[in-house]
C-alpha cells in the first residue's frame, strides 16, 4: 500500500460526494473523490494534514505525461528497482512524494522497455485514493 502525507487545500461538494485537492509536495497536487462531505467527516477541512493511501495495483505507469486523459494525478518518478514474481513485477519508484510502488503485469512491463534509472510517470485515478486523518 502506498502512503503519502498531504495537506487538504481544496474541497468541492456536490450532494454526498466531495472532490478533495491535496498539496502533497511543493510541485505535486493530488485530487480524489470521497463519498463523504465536510459535514459527515470532521477531518475534511482546509489545511488539515491527512495520509492518502492507494494500492500498488492502482498505479498506472506511463513513459511520458499524458494530455487528454481523465487521470489528473500524474506523478513524475524515477525507477529505483524491480522485484519480479511469476506474473507481476513490483516497480519501485522514487518521487517528490517519497517512495511509491506499482504492480505491473510482466508482459506489459517488458513491452515498455523500462530500466532502473528511467524517468516515468505514475498515474492514479481519483476514485482509487483513500484518506486517513493524522
pLDDT tens, position by position, 93-124: 999 999 999 999 989 988 999 999 999 999 99
What's the predicted TM-score (pTM) here? 0.89
- Categorise residue 98: left if φ over 0, alpha if ψ from -120 to 50, beta otherwise: left
* Cβ neighbours around 18 below 10 Å, total: 21
pLDDT surpasses 80 at 134? no
pLDDT tens, position by position, 11-56: 999 999 999 999 998 789 999 999 999 999 999 999 999 999 999 9
CA–CA gap between residue 109 and residue 58 (Å, rounded)? 15
Q: Which three cell numbers stand for residue 108?
A: 506489459
Q: Which three cell numbers stand for residue 130?
A: 483513500
Q: Which CATH architecture has domain 2-133?
A: Beta Barrel (2.40)
Amino acid at each position: 500500500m502506498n502512503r503519502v502525507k498531504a495537506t487538504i487545500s481544496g474541497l468541492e461538494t456536490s450532494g454526498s460526494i466531495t472532490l478533495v485537492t491535496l498539496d502533497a509536495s511543493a510541485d505535486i497536487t493530488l485530487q480524489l473523490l470521497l463519498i463523504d462531505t465536510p459535514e459527515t467527516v470532521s477531518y475534511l477541512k482546509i489545511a488539515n494534514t491527512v495520509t492518502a493511501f492507494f494500492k500498488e495495483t492502482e498505479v498506472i505507469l506511463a513513459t511520458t505525461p499524458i494530455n487528454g486523459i481523465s487521470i489528473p494525478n500524474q506523478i513524475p518518478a524515477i525507477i529505483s528497482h524491480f522485484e519480479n514474481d511469476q506474473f507481476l513485477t513490483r516497480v519501485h519508484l522514487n518521487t517528490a512524494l517519497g517512495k511509491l510502488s506499482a504492480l505491473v503485469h510482466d508482459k506489459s512491463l517488458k513491452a515498455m522497455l523500462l530500466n532502473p534509472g528511467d524517468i516515468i510517470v505514475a498515474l492514479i485515478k481519483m476514485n482509487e485514493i483513500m484518506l486517513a486523518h493524522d
